[in-house]
Structure 1
Amino acid sequence: MLKRLSAPLFAFALVSVLSLTYAQAETVQQWHTLELSFDGPQSSETDEVNPFTEYRLLVTFTHQKSETTVRGFYAADGNAAESSADSGNVWKVRFTPEHTGKWSYTASLRKGEYIAIDDSPSAGTNIDLKNSKGSFTVIPSDKSGRDFRAHGRIVSNDGYFQFKGSGKHWIKGGAGSPENLLGYVGFDGTFRQAAEARKGEAATTEELHVFEPHIQDWKAGDPTWQGGKGKGIIGGMNYLAGKGMNSFYFLTLNILGDGKDVWPYTDYEERERFDCSKLDQWEILFQHMQAKGLLLHVVTQETENETLLDEGNTGLHRKLYYRELIARFGHHLALVWNLGEENGPVHWSPVGQSSEQQKAMATYLDASDPYNHPIIIHTHSTIADKDHLLPALLGHQPLDGLSFQIDRREQTHGEVIKWQNKSREAGKKWLITFDEQGKWYRGALPDSVDPRHDTLRHYALWGALLAGSAGVEWYFGAHYEHNDLTLEDWRSRDTLWDQTRHATTFFENYLPYWEMTPSNDLTLRTDDYCFAKEGEIYTIYTPDSTMTDLDLGSSEQVYSVAWYNPITGGELQAGSVEEVEGPGIKNLGHAPEVIDQDWIILVRKKK
């Protein structure tokens, strides 16, 4: 699609570029993004000398405690989100410093055939840059609350998410639909490629996402672009953050896939040239999501296109794709790289990447990403498929874990425990997040169809978290309104967001969950879940309000007993028994209200 630059916009863009190019950064806040611009050769998205393959910008940032080399990217006129420009002479780099104090940087722009994927420092020829060296001082961040800049970068550590800055652990609860979030009407060059839907996917319409119901959630001061574009999608993120959600699962490439409306390239058939203005508009959205405390769960491909790039290998096109994603978006603090949705060959999708190709992707991403973001892979839905495909990935150090899919939600608890145990035994405990709940045509139903979400809450939410999962995101089934491809209004699951927030709040407020393990053998019931740090703290999910017995072992400590309502949340409540003393098996009494619902029991050693 053509991009036209009006005279007024061009003038504005030029002023913006000059100010960015020649302004000297002096003070930057810790964990905030520093964006530097450099004047390079005049080029364009369609130039015969491809700026995305034939140039390489590297910027090395040095502090007394660390040195980090970050790749830059071609940025057209430097203001493409506003101007829609596809040409210019600006290259940029984005960097988030983790240490306070004095920093310096040195930039290098080199030209050569496919130098963009060449790691040799001496490859190509050097191009002189103005202001190729500089310095700045990093001071503490002034952010607070949900904004990730108040906490630092999220990394994977022993099966859980953790902030690298504060050391605080973080548990995920968010949205997994629509997966084609970026198929949005306000992004340049975005359209839906017409094609027949395959059996087993949500039906799409001819329309891109507008998210009109969420325009009301956009607030004065929130970002837009090009005179007011983006209010629906920005407002939608405001709504989800306001409900306490902290993550979103979305695709960056669905060519040949379900939606056929998301790609970073200048065209559906292109693989070596990227759309500068579209990607800068994505960046506006991503910045807002980070400020609102929403992790970017970046799913880089789906099952239908996992062999689209280099026939599944990590060759020219896959390397270019990953390098561009890292250069433009890797600076974000809360980001997970997902190698692919439903990845690997199965009977209904026999053309897929092999385990060696999967490991090569993980290895390349791990080596190319200077920020050490978690790397995971989305599984197929059945136990048999996971048992067949996943063992070959166990112990592969660059892979941090699994984005779990299960077609029968009642299997969640046992399957998460199984793969955590297998990965631990193989030498690296996997971070496992539960991101797609079956059946594929049902998923997380709208509140109007399933007002209480009893089975989701039982098996998927608490079943996953009390098995040691690092979090949950909700997939919306294909056969219902506001599904995985057509959702326009996240209020369709308003109650589900509340129940998810109640669960993550409980974990954050009451549990050292990273020190706890599934311990179902400590209770006498067979239909509950027990999560424990034995001798210290126990959490039990019971599917009803009747009595539960807990084995305190040889401990002679006194423990408090409190109950938590997973449907309404709120404060801890007293049941019929308020404390127990070990050793041995002790009855925990019954819930504050003997009603037809599930409860959470919290048993803690008294000081």
Structure 2
Amino acid sequence: MNDIKQRIIKSLSLFLLVTATSNVLADTKIQLTGELQKWHAISLTFDGPETPEDAEYNPFVNYRLNVEFTHKTSGKSYTVPGYFAADGDAANTGATAGNKWRVNFSADELGTWDWRATFRKGRFVAVSNKDLTGAAAGFMDNQTGSFEIKATDKSYPDFRQRGRLEYINQPYLRFAQTGEYFIKAGPDAPENLLSYVDFDGTFHNDGHKDELVKTWQAHEKDWNKGDPTWQKGKGKALIGALNYLSEKGMNSISFLTLNIIGDDQNVFPYVDYDTLDRMDISKLAQWNIVFTHAQKKGLFLHFKTAEVENQGLLDNGGLGLQRQLYYRELIARFGHHLALNWNMGEENGEWVPNHKSMPQSTIQRLAMAKYFHNNDPYNHHVVIHNGNDYSDLTGNDSYYTGASVQTSRKDFSQVHGAVKRLREWPLINGRPFAVSVDEPGDAQNSLVPDSVDPKHDNARKNGLWGALTAGAWGTEWYFGYAHPHSDLTAQDWRSRDLFWDQAKYALDFFKIAGVPYHKGKNLDNLSNGHWVLGEEGQFYIVFVKDASKEAKLNIYFGKADYSVQWYNPRLGGELQTGTVKKVTVTQNRTSYKKYERHDLGAPPSDKNQDWVVLVKRK
């Protein structure tokens, strides 16, 4: 009986009906929904103008809802963009019309938050930053209210337990609540993850590569009772796929949100393939159900907003009406999620012989990042994927905070050097790039299915550990087009099941190592050909590709003992003891000597295999 009472109380807290007073329209009813807890998604839904998606007076372009949320004690303030939500339940009803206008917010402080809404009407007002006080549209304009935020009751891996993932002028991202740093691992494929038969929209049968629309049927068995669905049971297979990845210990997914004239051509936020200024409200609401579940399962969201083929689709690559509207809608509908980054373009720039659309220039590349800097209230991590290199994006006029790296060799041998180069770039604007390797390998092969290569030795050694020991904050894995379950056709993540184990072992290592790896830099020069990430005089993570080759390490002078432990990257498990348990630095630094060379011994077994050696100051 107590359980029933608790559920009733919780349900009441999820749906509050608030009466606010407007200077223009009195007694307007406002729905405040969501668990009123720190880091949780809270939505304010207002009664606004009644309109359909296809109204002659475009509801996406000619209205603008913003809500300012201010913490009463700290004074911290966020201005959050809102959006047209049709009937308020379009994910389930499929509605294309209504009078509901919504804003999503995630509070990062306990206590009282006050809010104030502004609503404007006018030609192109959605992409204007001007106040336009003479263009008030009535309805919810100037309405105010408040709510109380309590501590979250969620647990790991739910990101609400850890807080928002933030770029803090370091090469690694950090959770605001727990202060822990994050290393990601997961699939980069399929890039058309959202090309899914259970989503609403015209893409199923519009004549644009309809055969690539996915069912994700192999993962329907992974859906669990109580997991979300929409429209009386739709979505189970894709939700199940997310469950599978989370249960394998992965913590990241990647997807395009716009691939018109791209490789797949089935993913776009719009009502149809040829319309670039009207959103498909029910489809986007269904996307949000998927993204919300991913965050609960501890899966980072890598939003890839464009690909090389369509970088010039919107405004010829510029920052006009179409692009600003697209970005505003992404921020408004999905920016409240805690762990994500915005990728401005996959394989971006002028670098292929026959571009399908206008390649973007440096000015345009910089403008995209600046838009998110100015308009994303949470300042999520902003990256771009290399087609062109990143050398034009490091100046004082750049708001990029990271690089999304692609390489092109089948054996992944470029990965380590690519990350080292970017981590060592001069900090022209004081913001070091947080570097992730999101497409290691070549286009044809990259991470092949287990049936082709069950050991994945090169992927593990050169791709995974090559990236991490060079200072990358994570990896994502592209599926080559020359094999089944490719970047476009994959809809069964079990095709790489054995590799997800190896990626999880890498994540496990950084949890059990007990070192501040976020302070680490590449220190290859201190070893005899092995890869090293470390903080001099404190810890060294040495990746030994072949343990038959002795491992030696130059350790920074300063009298101290260091433990020596070995970790098996192929099988995971605990740290183990090899033939050398500890090394002792016996001297202090002199004017002409800085290092003392030490033999790290041999691993406890499998002396011809790869191992990770953790050398840590006691």
TM-score (norm 2): 0.90
**Deviation (angstroms), 1:50:** 0.9
In the other structure, the counterpart of 1:39 is 47
Specify whether residues 457 and 205 from structure 1 end up closer, same or farther in structure 2 by C-alpha distance, changes over 3 A only.
farther
Distance in 2 (alpha carbons) for counterparts of 1:596 and 1:551: 23
Specify whether residues 447 and 331 from structure 1 end up closer, same or farther in structure 2 by C-alpha distance, changes over 3 A only.
same
Specify whether residues 167 and 397 from structure 1 end up closer, same or farther in structure 2 by C-alpha distance, changes over 3 A only.
farther
Give 2:534's match in structure 1, choosing from 529, 532, 543. Answer: 532
Distance in 2 (alpha carbons) for counterparts of 1:437 and 1:85: 41
What amino acid sits opposite 1:561 in the alignment? Answer: V
Where structure 1 has 5 or more consecutive residues not aligned to the other structure, the ranges are: 1-15, 196-203
Give 2:221's match in structure 1, choosing from 210, 216, 235. Answer: 216
Q: Counterparts in 2 of 1:500-519, with a 5 A limit? A: 500-510=503-513, 511-519=515-523
Specify whether residues 207 and 254 from structure 1 end up closer, same or farther in structure 2 by C-alpha distance, changes over 3 A only.
closer
In the other structure, the counterpart of 1:558 is 561
Give 1:76's match in structure 2, choosing from 72, 86, 93. Answer: 86
Helix, strand or coil at the partner of 1:182 = coil
Helix, strand or coil at the partner of 1:28 = coil
Distance in 2 (alpha carbons) for counterparts of 1:578 and 1:226: 60
What amino acid sits opposite 2:477 in the alignment? Answer: W
Specify whether residues 464 and 124 from structure 1 end up closer, same or farther in structure 2 by C-alpha distance, changes over 3 A only.
farther
Give 2:316's match in structure 1, choosing from 307, 311, 314. Answer: 311
Distance in 2 (alpha carbons) for counterparts of 1:191 and 1:18: 37
Give 2:609's match in structure 1, choosing from 587, 591, 597. Answer: 597
Specify whether residues 426 and 299 from structure 1 end up closer, same or farther in structure 2 by C-alpha distance, changes over 3 A only.
same
In the other structure, the counterpart of 1:404 is 405
**Deviation (angstroms), 1:256:** 0.2
Distance in 1 (alpha carbons) for counterparts of 2:34 and 2:158: 23
Work out whether residues 415 and 440 of structure 2, in 8 Å CA contact, stay in contact via their aligned partners in 1: no
**Deviation (angstroms), 1:107:** 1.1
What amino acid sits opposite 1:469 in the alignment? Answer: A
The answer to which of 321-330 and 419-428 deviates more is: 419-428
Helix, strand or coil at the partner of 1:435 = strand
2:392 maps to 1:392: yes
**Deviation (angstroms), 1:589:** 0.7
In the other structure, the counterpart of 1:522 is 526
**Deviation (angstroms), 1:423:** 4.6
In the other structure, the counterpart of 1:251 is 256
In the other structure, the counterpart of 2:546 is 544
Give 1:144's match in structure 2, choosing from 155, 167, 170. Answer: 155
In the other structure, the counterpart of 2:424 is 421
Work out whether residues 49 and 139 of structure 2, in 8 Å CA contact, stay in contact via their aligned partners in 1: no
Where structure 2 has 5 or more consecutive residues not aligned to the other structure, the ranges are: 1-13, 19-28, 587-595
Distance in 2 (alpha carbons) for counterparts of 1:482 and 1:192: 22
Helix, strand or coil at the partner of 2:349 = coil
Specify whether residues 358 and 213 from structure 1 end up closer, same or farther in structure 2 by C-alpha distance, changes over 3 A only.
same
Helix, strand or coil at the partner of 1:580 = strand
Work out whether residues 16 and 32 of structure 2, in 8 Å CA contact, stay in contact via their aligned partners in 1: no
Work out whether residues 112 and 124 of structure 1, in 8 Å CA contact, stay in contact via their aligned partners in 2: no
Work out whether residues 376 and 403 of structure 1, in 8 Å CA contact, stay in contact via their aligned partners in 2: yes
Distance in 1 (alpha carbons) for counterparts of 2:277 and 2:454: 47
In the other structure, the counterpart of 1:155 is 166
**Deviation (angstroms), 1:124:** 5.3
**Deviation (angstroms), 1:49:** 1.0
In the other structure, the counterpart of 2:23 is none
**Deviation (angstroms), 1:415:** 1.5
How far does the alpha carbon of each residue in 1:78-108 deviate from its partner, in whole angstroms, 9 at most, with x for none?
1100000000011000000100011111112
How far does the alpha carbon of each residue in 1:262-291 deviate from its partner, in whole angstroms, 9 at most, with x for none?
000001000110000000000000100000
How far does the alpha carbon of each residue in 1:267-316 deviate from its partner, in whole angstroms, 9 at most, with x for none?
10001100000000000001000000111100000000000000000111
Distance in 2 (alpha carbons) for counterparts of 1:24 and 1:258: 40
In the other structure, the counterpart of 2:364 is 357
Distance in 2 (alpha carbons) for counterparts of 1:463 and 1:24: 48
Give 2:597's match in structure 1, choosing from 579, 585, 588. Answer: 585
**Deviation (angstroms), 1:174:** 1.2
Q: Identity over aligned residues, as a percent?
A: 45
In the other structure, the counterpart of 1:227 is 232
In the other structure, the counterpart of 1:331 is 336
How far does the alpha carbon of each residue in 1:300-333 deviate from its partner, in whole angstroms, 9 at most, with x for none?
0000000000000011100000001000000100
**Deviation (angstroms), 1:427:** 3.2
Distance in 2 (alpha carbons) for counterparts of 1:328 and 1:460: 34
The answer to which of 60-69 and 277-286 deviates more is: 60-69
Distance in 1 (alpha carbons) for counterparts of 2:349 and 2:34: 48
Distance in 1 (alpha carbons) for counterparts of 2:113 and 2:34: 10
Distance in 1 (alpha carbons) for counterparts of 2:579 and 2:177: 42
What amino acid sits opposite 1:152 in the alignment? Answer: G
2:385 maps to 1:378: yes
| Alignment length (residue pairs) | 574
Q: Counterparts in 2 of 1:18-167, with a 5 A limit? A: 22-23=30-31, 28-63=36-71, 64-65=73-74, 66-122=76-132, 125-129=135-139, 132-157=143-168, 158-167=170-179
Distance in 1 (alpha carbons) for counterparts of 2:207 and 2:430: 46
Helix, strand or coil at the partner of 2:417 = helix
**Deviation (angstroms), 1:585:** 1.1
Which portions of structure 1, spanning 4 or more consecutive aligned residues, are displaced by more than 6 angstroms?
16-20
Work out whether residues 297 and 336 of structure 1, in 8 Å CA contact, stay in contact via their aligned partners in 2: yes
Helix, strand or coil at the partner of 1:506 = helix
Specify whether residues 214 and 542 from structure 1 end up closer, same or farther in structure 2 by C-alpha distance, changes over 3 A only.
same
Helix, strand or coil at the partner of 1:357 = helix
In the other structure, the counterpart of 1:8 is none
How far does the alpha carbon of each residue in 1:86-140 deviate from its partner, in whole angstroms, 9 at most, with x for none?
0001100000010001111111211100100111112552233359321100111
Helix, strand or coil at the partner of 1:493 = helix
Distance in 2 (alpha carbons) for counterparts of 1:140 and 1:456: 41
Distance in 1 (alpha carbons) for counterparts of 2:574 and 2:136: 63
How far does the alpha carbon of each residue in 1:476-535 deviate from its partner, in whole angstroms, 9 at most, with x for none?
0011111111111100001111111111111133131111111011112x2x20111111
Distance in 2 (alpha carbons) for counterparts of 1:170 and 1:269: 39
Specify whether residues 96 and 426 from structure 1 end up closer, same or farther in structure 2 by C-alpha distance, changes over 3 A only.
closer
Distance in 2 (alpha carbons) for counterparts of 1:269 and 1:54: 20
Specify whether residues 538 and 46 from structure 1 end up closer, same or farther in structure 2 by C-alpha distance, changes over 3 A only.
same
Work out whether residues 53 and 115 of structure 1, in 8 Å CA contact, stay in contact via their aligned partners in 2: yes
Distance in 2 (alpha carbons) for counterparts of 1:103 and 1:205: 46
Helix, strand or coil at the partner of 1:410 = coil
In the other structure, the counterpart of 2:589 is none
What amino acid sits opposite 1:304 in the alignment? Answer: E
**Deviation (angstroms), 1:192:** 6.3
Distance in 1 (alpha carbons) for counterparts of 2:364 and 2:527: 43
In the other structure, the counterpart of 2:433 is 430
Helix, strand or coil at the partner of 2:250 = coil
In the other structure, the counterpart of 1:240 is 245
What amino acid sits opposite 2:360 in the alignment? Answer: Q
Helix, strand or coil at the partner of 1:60 = strand
What amino acid sits opposite 2:604 in the alignment? Answer: P
Distance in 2 (alpha carbons) for counterparts of 1:38 and 1:427: 42
**Deviation (angstroms), 1:412:** 1.2
Work out whether residues 72 and 93 of structure 1, in 8 Å CA contact, stay in contact via their aligned partners in 2: yes
